[in-house]
A and B are shown apart, each in its own frame.
Chain A
Amino acid sequence: MSWTDLAVLALLGAGLAFYGAGSLGLLRFPDTASRLHALTKADNLGLGLVALAAALHWGSLAVAAKIALVWLFAVIAAGITSQLLARQARLDGTRSHRDGVQP
């Protein structure tokens, strides 16, 4: 096993750990905001580490550039959707407060 393989394994493992933590947070945290916090932070890092592992594994600059683009677009999309989700959750929260319903 070469040093590259070891690095790929380590990166993959770290990435999966972040994914696991993010999924755990999504399942266990009480409200939308903290769930989003767990999901976006952990997912972006997790995907970044897995993408880095994939790029190292393929060992080609062209492939690495494509993988970097995939990661970049995923991060941008995740950032935008979490903004929208958080805003919607806040709107829903104030609406249910106003209507006298527990959020």
Chain B
Amino acid sequence: MTGAFDIILCLMILGAAGIALFVRDALAAIAFFIAFGNLLGLAWLGLDAVNVALAEIALGAGVTGVLLILARARLLALGDDATCADTSAWLRAGALAACAGFVLLLAAAVLSIPPESGLDRAVAPLMPGLGIENRVTGVLLAFRAYDTLLESFVLLGALVAVWSLAPAGVWPGRPADLGVADVPMRRVARSFGRFLLPVALVMAAYLVWAGSDVPGGAFQAGTVLAGGLMVSAIGGAIGLPRSDLPGLRVALVLGPLVFLLIGLAGMGFGGFLVYPEGSAKAAILAIEYSLFLSIGATLALLVAGPNVIGWPDPAGGTDRHSDC
């Protein structure tokens, strides 16, 4: 029974991926990409990798999907028809061969790992020293904290890179307005945003807290927060802040900064990113909560992107930003 389910799921994943690649209409491709991400999340769930499943569905399907849809809308607004241009058959065959070779290599590498050599075995005896139960969080925030620290800086760097693409005339200003223009639609979306934002905040705060012991964590929670912010911005329930607002900059930098400071403080306990004996959980939670805030704000602003000339002016419209 589960075998049949797995096979059907695999076929659906491959089918969704194939349609996303070969369909000519960009919006249809994006729709299938989102379906692909959700199906992949189900597959991770089937492999008992709940943390990965949450991240895949929230980030891989959710935020990336919204990013792609908005990117298409902006291309259309610029006069690009947002369809894929014809490429030469040789180029496509070469890309296919390179990707197929890479997949074969990857499959060989994964299948050559003996099943008993999982990381779980190495991590399990070390967990009691941290005071948390979720081994993924243990790896991300303690045993391989260096990687996560760099990741948090990469995310910040991505936002700076996106902002640096803003035309000189609109900088520093508000990000592009995500709001819908039509007034009745805006009213519906606004009441949804007002309802959803507090729910998303509670849900995200819970996900961070739960991330110590069960699947969850700063990245998943940050995505939930970003989702709440985006939905609220679409309805105009909140206005996105100007990029030179000091409070916004603090929120963006807080996570990486707290992470770095706690890591540097670890020098006093034996090395960079070494947590003091007995208060590892407190340090991890402090890092996770500040990371969550920064990730949420960064993702929401990444999706909004910089304001561009020719895009509807955020100051226009009838009742926009009246209550931000």
Contact = CB atoms under 8 A, between A and B. Distances in A.
Interface of A: 73, 76-77, 80, 83-84, 87-88, 91
Contacts of A91: 182
Contacts of B188: 80, 83-84, 87
A83 B189 CA distance: 9
B182 A87 contact: yes
B171 interface: no
Interface string B163-202: 0000000000000000010101100110010010001000
B185 A84 contact: yes
B188 to A, nearest CB: 5
Contacts of B199: 73
B54 to A, nearest CB: 14
A80 B182 contact: no
A32 B279 CA distance: 57
| Count class of interface residues, chain B | under 10
B192 A87 contact: no
A84 B189 contact: yes
A84 B180 contact: yes
11 contacts: A73-B199, A76-B192, A77-B192, A80-B188, A80-B192, A84-B185, A84-B188, A87-B182, A87-B184, A88-B182, A88-B185
Would you call the interface of chain B mostly helix, strand, loop, or mixed?
helix
Contacts, number: 20
Given A84-B185, A87-B182, 12 more contacts: A73-B199, A76-B192, A76-B195, A80-B192, A83-B185, A83-B188, A84-B188, A84-B189, A87-B184, A87-B185, A88-B182, A88-B185
A49 B189 CA distance: 27
A83 B190 CA distance: 12
A98 B195 CA distance: 36
Contacts of A88: 182, 185
- List the 6 shortest-distance A-B pairs measured between CB atoms, nearest first: A80-B192, A83-B188, A87-B185, A84-B185, A87-B184, A84-B188
A88 B185 CA distance: 8
B227 to A, nearest CB: 11
Interface in B208-249: none
Contacts of A84: 180, 185, 188-189
Contacts of A83: 185, 188
A84 B188 CA distance: 7
Nearest to A84: B185
Contacts of A77: 192
Nearest to B193: A80
Contacts of A76: 192, 195
Nearest to B188: A83
Contacts of A87: 182, 184-185, 188
B4 to A, nearest CB: 16
Nearest to B180: A84
A62 to B, nearest CB: 13
Contacts of A80: 188-189, 192
A99 B180 CA distance: 22
